[in-house]
Amino acid sequence: MGMSNCIDTIKKVINSDYLSKSQEYLIEEDVKARKVTIYCPKNIEYVLYKFDEKNLPKDKQKIFPFFNRDIPGLNKMADYMLFAEKNKKLSVFLIELKCSSCSKQQLDAMELYAQFILKSIERIINIERNKHFIFNLDYKINKIRIKNPKKIKSKVKIGDPFEINQHGIFDYVWTDFRIDTLL
């Protein structure tokens, strides 16, 4: 995985404590150590973040310290945020590995957080450039719920890896997370 200007800026803006320990797999510890392999061609740059309090050092175990911890669901988000860049176009994948009744709410919460991060990145780029024009980041946010993955057999015709449900969420069904098919 190489570096690009946008991915480089994202790495500067987001604290490295939240980098996923594995950049090659999406892992759900609670579900029989479920592991989904990330497949990414060399011409696509990406970085994977996991905003999970239990993976942080004890002194940093509050992702949103300013929110009231007593309100159910307020501090919950999807499992991963993956930033991918190809041809100067940024795609943000918000990924939930469980198919539960609250997965939509977790993806919606993560979308708000992603928008905040992206607006912060635009602001930082504009400060660093100190130009007379405003830089607007070209990006697309995709909400993805990985459900009941299917093995891909070489002799079987490969269909779409996802179906889009009525809430605009990609219900992804392949065992490998193929970034190139989603861009």
116, HSE (Cβ side, Cα atoms, 13 Å): 8
Residues 6+ apart with CB under 8 A from 138: 88, 89, 90
Contacts of 60 (CB under 8 A, 6+ apart): 17
More confident residue, 183 or 32: 183
Q: How confident is the model over 62-117, as pLDDT tens digits?
A: 667 677 778 877 778 889 999 999 888 899 999 998 766 678 899 999 999 999 99
Least confident span in 50-59, 136-145, 158-167: 158-167
Do strands 176-178 and 169-174 pair parallel, antiparallel, or not at all (unpaired)?
Answer: unpaired
Please state, in angstroms and as integers, the Cα–Cα distance from residue 46 to each residue in 88, 90, 94, 130, 172, following that order.
Answer: 12, 9, 13, 27, 19
Q: Where do the domains of the chain lie?
A: 5-182
- Per-residue pLDDT band at 162 (split at 50, 70, 90): low
Rounded to an integer, the average pLDDT of 46-62 is 76
* Residue among 162, 139, 143 nearest 77 (CA): 143
Find, among 29, 27, 5, 2, the residue nearest to 137 by Cα. 5
